[in-house]
Structure 1
């Protein structure tokens, strides 16, 4: 039995999966298996994987059911003590698993662990924008307090003990946008996080991602299920309200007034910055223009965070 089971959902990533697998197979910590679920790919992704001969790779093929179903299936097949999440188009630096193992050893009373991430964009690579990070290299942190800007957990840096899957349950297969954030929030209500406070992974820029799909609120996590537990956890309420804010802007931009109003009724405005409260008051056409301007600035290496 391996220490880590690396969980990879694979769907039409023929241009990326080789680099991803090479980054995993080059890890300094070698006690792992790789569980890949080919989620009905229609390109050459499957052929790219089968070209690898490392016996630590376990490959399964299913009909296309989405990333959550693929992750759930992979976790059900996994034999490792810890599940380390990875996407088929991202990249680990050589000591990623070693640093996770180091953190697990140092904080062995915990069950959920992560490192930090850098994000590749069209115009460069930047450290992810986290909140309230500790000074120590290895530290126990609260998920909600460290996820006000970006979630401290991600599908490229997180490892969980296999028992977490039994407690938290599977990823929600009914949503396809925000499914990972919804899972991390569920974890945050049950577990503290063991953090290795350094970058060990990179989220790769992929043109034509899910963000370019036609907006459909039914595919999004609306956070209603957290209305009760967040009442007794101010940090959770603030983090979830910030996510509601982002989703409310999408609703307004796409003229979904009913869901926009429902979301903002659930938000405590005190949890938002003044510029965020201002954005909520703007009409959809103005938000669209601001998003275009934001994209222009990012191409000039100027990043805005209000959205």
Structure 2
């Protein structure tokens, strides 16, 4: 970037996200605010994730594609953060979507409205018109508002903006944590006195593909169990339930379920003939 220090460093950890990553990179290309650099940190995907990312080299203001031998969102985010030069780090997941004014609104808030803010998150909305899925995202927003009213800072790892100096001061994400690594980071940022804020706008479009795969009840159960265990026992360094990273895992299981459904329907039609 010719020696220019960008305001934002956007960090995107990936693993088999060839289907979704290009959509997010297109969203970044459409940003009104171009004062950013971007990092895609890939955990050695087995699909065309890296190949798809390379198509945006020279399109975005600055894009660096990094390879991580460790498949762990915390480790992958930390790897990019060490190379980042922006004043603020923006952590996004590959399956997220952001409006064109996403960075510009956040930039304006941090400069004009609350220069003392050192980390923040925003409200989210569903990636579909399903009433049940809209209810889930509204529930998440209400939990964030509740945390705000109780002065208990809470951010979402897939939608997090943090002052890079503070991130470095607390030594980034704990790479040993399996679940709720974002809550752990939030606590450590709060412990050093970092102020935070929750923005109702802009809203990040949250992917609910995991919810569609597992079902609403199971997804909510995992959320409640994970958060409760973290609050009661601290950082979760052991696997407490199946929560795999990567688009291939989610898509493969979804396709397998669809295949089973079609097979069942096929045999049902045969039985109906008798």
Same fold by TM-score, threshold 0.5 exceeded?
Answer: yes
Partner residue in 1 for 2:27: 23
The correspondence of residues 192-271 of structure 1 with structure 2, limited to 5 A, is: 192-207=195-210, 222-223=229-230, 240=231
User: Contact 1:120–1:202 (CA<8 Å) still a contact in 2?
Assistant: yes
Structure number with the higher helix fraction is 2
Partner residue in 2 for 1:159: 161
Counterpart pick for 2:177 among 157, 175, 178: 175
Partner residue in 2 for 1:191: 194
RMSD (Å) for aligned C-alpha atoms? 3.4
SS at match of 1:52: coil
User: Contact 1:7–1:86 (CA<8 Å) still a contact in 2?
Assistant: yes
Query: In 2, Cα distance between the equivalents of 1:63 and 1:16?
Result: 21
Q: Which has the higher contact order (CA 8 A, sep 6+)?
A: 2
Partner residue in 2 for 1:145: 150
* In the alignment, structure 1 residue 118 sits paired with structure 2 residue 125: yes
Aligned length: 216
The CA deviation at 1:131 is 4.3
The CA deviation at 1:4 is 0.3
Q: Deviations over 1:161-211 (max 9, x none)?
A: 1111122222111122221222223223332213322242111122458x8
SS at match of 1:117: strand
Q: Can you give the 5+ residue segments of structure 2 that lack an aligned partner in the other structure?
A: 243-274
Query: In 2, Cα distance between the equivalents of 1:132 and 1:182?
Result: 16
User: Contact 2:116–2:195 (CA<8 Å) still a contact in 1?
Assistant: no
Q: Deviations over 1:61-115 (max 9, x none)?
A: 1213311100000100111111011111111111111111111012112211222
TM-score by length of 2: 0.68
Query: In 2, Cα distance between the equivalents of 1:57 and 1:197?
Result: 28
TM-score by length of 1: 0.61
Q: Deviations over 1:138-158 (max 9, x none)?
A: xxxx758266xxx74112332
* In the alignment, structure 1 residue 73 sits paired with structure 2 residue 86: no
